[in-house]
A and B are shown apart, each in its own frame.
Chain A
Amino acid sequence: DAGVTQSPTHLIKTRGQQVTLRCSPKSGHDTVSWYQQALGQGPQFIFQYYEEEERQRGNFPDRFSGHQFPNYSSELNVNALLLGDSALYLCASSLLGQSYTFGSGTRLTVV
């Protein structure tokens, strides 16, 4: 049974560019959440998707947007990248209200 799959594992982008990160949830899970983890910090909640809608959002600017597809997979898009967007981006899936399974993350470096 595959867990949460994230792609790519690493990526380097230039300031001002746009990036799309992808997440496939664990089989049977219908809810996907995204987190940003800066080096040496705990993860910070970006947003959560359920039934293809953004259900909750953390304190992140509109440059951060997402999408959930009918097969429950999800994308995180970040526009106009800043150096401060360099972080590990984690995807977590669950059944709504149940415990979470995290992916291994995408390490984004903005230069």
Chain B
Amino acid sequence: SQQGEEDPQALSIQEGENATMNCSYKTSINNLQWYRQNSGRGLVHLILIRSNEREKHSGRLRVTLDTSKKSSSLLITASRAADTASYFCATDAKEGKLTFGTGTRLAVRP
């Protein structure tokens, strides 16, 4: 079963705009991770945020985590056409088992 739900399911923006994706989950976690997937191929790890962290940055990515609301958000700033992909959040509640959400399909128009 899916742990989390991403919102929105699909997002279309213009190049240069910011994209925000949200993820909700159900159980307590050790950490939450975001992944990108291009065209149904392998997953690329973007960022990991631990349960005792509230915000983390990596390049154009900003992730927040609110454990009281069991939610996280991924912000991609100054989007590029190459950011077009599906984005998944995954929670690690029990060491080694990632539980993924349903994903957000992001389309960045040139």
Contact = CB atoms under 8 A, between A and B. Distances in A.
Contacts of B41: 88, 104-105
A39 B40 CA distance: 8
Classify the interface of chain B: helix, strand, loop or mixed: strand
Contact of B45 (A31, A33, A101): A101
Interface residues of A, number: 31
A48 interface: yes
B59 interface: no
Nearest to B101: A42
A48 B100 CA distance: 15
A42 B103 contact: yes
Nearest to A42: B100
Give the interface size bracket for B toward A: 20 to 34
B1 to A, nearest CB: 7
Interface in A39-54: 39, 41-45, 48, 50
7 contacts: A56-B94, A92-B43, A96-B96, A97-B95, A102-B45, A103-B42, A105-B40
Given A48-B97, A55-B96, 8 more contacts: A4-B42, A35-B100, A42-B88, A43-B43, A45-B99, A58-B97, A100-B45, A102-B35
